[in-house]
Structure 1
Amino acid sequence: MDNILKGKKLLVLGGAQLSCEIIKKAQELGVYVVVTDYNEIEDSPGKRIADQSFMVSTTDVDAVVKLIEEENIDGVIVGFVDMLLPYYAEICRRTGLPSYGTKEQFDIFINKDKYKALCRKFHVPTVDEYAVDLENFEESTSEIKYPVLVKPADSSGARGITICYSKEELREAYQKASQFSSSGKILVERYLLGKEATVFWLFDDGKYYLTALGNRHMKNSQEGVIPLPVGYTFPSNILSKYQKDIEENVKQMLSFVGIKNGMMFMQCKIENDECIVYDIGYRLTGSLEYKILQKVCGYDPLEMMIRFALTGKMCEQDVANKINPHFNRYGFNLSFLAKPGKIKKILGMKELLEIPQVIDAVIAHDAGEEITEEMKGLLAQITLRVLGTADNLESLKNLIELIEKHVNILSDQDENLLLPGLEFEDILKDIEIL
């Protein structure tokens, strides 16, 4: 238990299932946790485990500021949702509490149009795009080479994204994406068919650390929607080349916009052995890679984010000597997807947690929740994440097989909702291509 944090009051904005990870970690550190959102307690998993909760919307800045003042809150933290970041920054500004980023910085990194322009300025590879004008559709799309990816400039979680193979599909997808964009700005990008990787960064008082680079394994297990991630493996064999060619450019970019603290992920496509950025999140990540970093390297970015919220400092001591993106063994994150249906039970949790190499098994959708048709093709289909380490590839192969043997997601009709997951052959194929 951390004596500096013990007894302090932390306000968590939003009580979604993933936010329970923040709440439990803060409570382990002796922090008194308060959760607020507009949901009733039965619809807010975070409220059910918090020390105290309130029915105040996270986007009602005036009401949250009043709550902070009345309850003598020591710090505020926001979880895994881009949309809440500007509200979080404004709440912190008005209450004088630490915010790891500014409203202006968040505005850049939640807007795909803005951060792509920033990447180009600093020679950080990013996806090419086409200018499409609905009012002049035929002419503006005449030079497009398909397939293309259509997506809102200011959305996340794979909402509003469509792969298009023709002009007719493009027109329909453009209108669909508009429904998910508050700004009305739609991006039409060249659709890269390469493999994927994700780069993870940690920031401490103006110092920038590349903490991990993992292969992001995608699987197309459903018709009519984009492929979704079924796992990560660390470290990626593209890491050394990324450090040689791109790392310093990214640091210059971050310095230009004045980044000081926090964490960030950059999702990339791989083309010609180059990481091409297509998505950025300046926030905690749903992939929960910080659990692997804590196990392999001995530091926990989630704990550091909680500490910053309550003290204004990411850590007490320099973390640089612990950071090693090359790791000393494999790390993995298996993401189990569920097809539409109401969840009755997730089987195998006890057995998973008894496996020595498993760090944690984290439920994203619990019994009684429903995977709806509207969630199909979105990251919201991820129902369970299992994280762990392996000493070598053979051990990794055996672990994946053992873990997948235990996991089953049953519907209220006793149907197996589990979609095909990561297979060892997928990992070998991705490594070989990279």
Structure 2
Amino acid sequence: MNLKDKKLLLMGGGAYANDILRYKEQTGFQIVALGRDAGTPIAKISDAFYQIDTQDVDAVCEVVQKEGISGIFVGSSEVNINPAITVSERTGCYFYTNRAQWDVLANKARFKDYCRTYGVPVVPEFNIKPGYTKEDVAKLTFPVLLKPTDSSGARGMNACYRAEDFDALYEEALKWSAKKEVIVEELITDADEVFFQYTIADGKTSLTSCFTKVFVQTDNKELILPIFHMYPSKYIDTYYRDVHQGACDLFRALGVTDGVMTLQSFYKNGQFYIFEAGFRMGGAQNYIFSDYQNGTNSLEYMINYALTGKMCDFDITEADNAKFRHPCCNYYVGLKPGVIAKMGGVEEVRAMDGVLNVTVMCHEGEEILDTNALERICLRIHVVGSTAEELAQNLVDISNTLDIVSTEGEKMQLESLSYERCLAAICDTTTFKRTK
């Protein structure tokens, strides 16, 4: 695929900056980046940078026309999808989704309707609309989850455990909804979280990878942060049997021909509950594992599409295989509260066998706050092993090598890993078991 001298507009993608630069150097395309801050990773790898707001569609269109942009890449930045669609409509440059598709996928209520139509299981909900009565609330089975239908991330989303708290939380959800629509769902607890990543190219849909999320273990029971994404999920065969075909039918009904899609689910008592769809690159760089295992790379395909209108020049379904040959782990290194004085061991970890990638997300001098936010994650490390035991040992070696210290002289890792903790997590969540 000839990309030489074509121009890619970056409206996001900072998490992948190093990999975008590597692919640029391999293929010869040019990068034009936008944003408010000239010091961002995408600004640093660009051939030309414009310090403008990505939400200023008129200004973005001017850049597209001035630079002769082929297409747009937004990475994992959901907030930039709407303006990118508008710019694509006005200028004719490539962008992987259109207004009709995004209007469904960005609206939780409409997406759930599509899921039900095509047999994709979703979280049960209650029929609560604006103007509801006290009697309506009394009929609810608590706890419930209130979600604005059209907000991104977890904005306005809250769990409600008591009827007396419902009104205030409903009003909070309404504040975050431009359409003034709120979904009230059953709150799913004590379930496994399982994620499924699809690549769609030329109308063909392939399951590229799947993982189960594992959470950090600390004395603080209110702290809910990921520590591992374990691949491939032990639920993959059940998913293929119960959900996969319905998901493919849903994508086809939406007219999706190219792009990457992540379905997020709970699995409880033998049942999947799909609760979110992300029609964009995920921030976790899953393509690193699929590239290592199968030679498929969704980051490169999305860049290809933005530059040529075509993801790849082969049948993606013949190359992908979500049943990875080796166990993999995306290791999230979370930190205790404090100011980082030292980030030791990072380069040593980067050079270790079994480490495919280290993404640094915090730096010395930054303050870590006592929250449940992902801003507490300072490193994301892609780790592989030939067996469950080897992967477990690799994770322990990484944890022991890292030396992250606060200005108070305290070790900052939220959880120092043990071999048995890692091996149990791998064997409990993936298709791989102990070999001895």
User: What is the TM-score normalised by the length of structure 1?
Assistant: 0.90
Gap change, CA 1:216 and 1:243, over 3 Å in 2: same
TM-superposed CA distance for 1:367, in Å, is 3.7
Q: Which runs of 5+ in 1 are unaligned?
A: none
2:226 to 226, 229, 233: 229
Cα deviation 1:365-401 (Å, max 9, x = unaligned): 334444456xx32334333211121111111221221
SS in 1 for 2:322: coil
Gap change, CA 1:404 and 1:257, over 3 Å in 2: same
Corresponding residue for residue 314 of structure 1: 311
Q: Which amino acid in the other structure matches residue 93 of structure 1?
A: E
Q: Does structure 1 retain, via aligned residues, the 8 Å contact 2:32–2:48?
A: yes
2:79 to 83, 86, 92: 83
TM-superposed CA distance for 1:247, in Å, is 1.1
1:352 aligns with 2:355: no
Corresponding residue for residue 8 of structure 1: 6
Q: Which amino acid in the other structure matches residue 281 of structure 2?
A: L
TM-superposed CA distance for 1:330, in Å, is 0.9
Equivalences for residues 245-264 of structure 1 within 5 A = 245-264=242-261
Corresponding residue for residue 299 of structure 1: 296
In the aligned structure 2, how far is the partner of 1:8 from the partner of 1:169?
55
Gap change, CA 1:68 and 1:415, over 3 Å in 2: farther
In the aligned structure 2, how far is the partner of 1:160 from the partner of 1:105?
23
Equivalences for residues 327-342 of structure 1 within 5 A = 327-342=324-339
Gap change, CA 1:417 and 1:156, over 3 Å in 2: farther
Moved more, 263-272 or 28-37: 28-37
Cα deviation 1:135-189 (Å, max 9, x = unaligned): 5352222122222223332333333333332223444433443444333323222
1:167 aligns with 2:169: no
Gap change, CA 1:218 and 1:130, over 3 Å in 2: farther
Corresponding residue for residue 277 of structure 1: 274
In the aligned structure 1, how far is the partner of 2:155 from the partner of 2:376?
12
In the aligned structure 2, how far is the partner of 1:155 from the partner of 1:379?
18
2:110 to 106, 109, 114: 114
Corresponding residue for residue 384 of structure 2: 389
Q: Which amino acid in the other structure matches residue 141 of structure 1?
A: V
Q: Does structure 2 retain, via aligned residues, the 8 Å contact 1:163–1:226?
A: no
Q: Which amino acid in the other structure matches residue 103 of structure 1?
A: R
In the aligned structure 2, how far is the partner of 1:336 from the partner of 1:142?
43
Cα deviation 1:220-255 (Å, max 9, x = unaligned): 759696733222111111111211221111111111
Q: Which amino acid in the other structure matches residue 396 of structure 1?
A: L
Gap change, CA 1:173 and 1:292, over 3 Å in 2: same
CA RMSD of aligned residues (A): 2.5
Corresponding residue for residue 415 of structure 2: 420
Gap change, CA 1:365 and 1:34, over 3 Å in 2: farther
Q: Does structure 2 retain, via aligned residues, the 8 Å contact 1:26–1:306?
A: no
TM-superposed CA distance for 1:300, in Å, is 0.6
Cα deviation 1:327-364 (Å, max 9, x = unaligned): 11112111122355444443321111111111101123
In the aligned structure 1, how far is the partner of 2:343 from the partner of 2:159?
32
Q: Does structure 1 retain, via aligned residues, the 8 Å contact 2:234–2:429?
A: no
SS in 2 for 1:136: coil
SS in 1 for 2:414: coil
Gap change, CA 1:174 and 1:370, over 3 Å in 2: farther
In the aligned structure 2, how far is the partner of 1:417 from the partner of 1:110?
37
Q: Does structure 1 retain, via aligned residues, the 8 Å contact 2:142–2:186?
A: yes
Moved more, 414-423 or 190-199: 414-423
Cα deviation 1:243-269 (Å, max 9, x = unaligned): 122111111111111000000101110
Corresponding residue for residue 143 of structure 2: 147
TM-superposed CA distance for 1:6, in Å, is 2.5
TM-superposed CA distance for 1:72, in Å, is 2.0
Moved more, 302-311 or 241-250: 241-250
1:95 to 91, 114, 126: 91
1:136 aligns with 2:165: no
In the aligned structure 2, how far is the partner of 1:307 from the partner of 1:78?
13
Report how many aligned residue pairs link the two structures.
425
Moved more, 125-134 or 215-224: 215-224
Q: Does structure 1 retain, via aligned residues, the 8 Å contact 2:9–2:73?
A: yes
In the aligned structure 2, how far is the partner of 1:222 from the partner of 1:264?
35
Q: Does structure 2 retain, via aligned residues, the 8 Å contact 1:159–1:378?
A: no
Cα deviation 1:170-210 (Å, max 9, x = unaligned): 44433443444333323222121211110110000111111
Q: Which amino acid in the other structure matches residue 37 of structure 1?
A: G
In the aligned structure 1, how far is the partner of 2:339 from the partner of 2:222?
20
Gap change, CA 1:84 and 1:156, over 3 Å in 2: same
SS in 2 for 1:10: strand
Moved more, 364-373 or 271-280: 364-373
Moved more, 182-191 or 317-326: 182-191
1:37 to 28, 35, 38: 35
Corresponding residue for residue 119 of structure 2: 123
In the aligned structure 1, how far is the partner of 2:31 from the partner of 2:68?
12
Gap change, CA 1:212 and 1:307, over 3 Å in 2: same
User: What is the TM-score normalised by the length of structure 2?
Assistant: 0.89
Q: Which amino acid in the other structure matches residue 348 of structure 1?
A: G
SS in 1 for 2:255: coil
Corresponding residue for residue 55 of structure 1: 51
Corresponding residue for residue 403 of structure 1: 398
1:288 to 285, 289, 293: 285
TM-superposed CA distance for 1:28, in Å, is 3.3
Corresponding residue for residue 74 of structure 1: 70
TM-superposed CA distance for 1:22, in Å, is 5.7
Gap change, CA 1:99 and 1:372, over 3 Å in 2: same
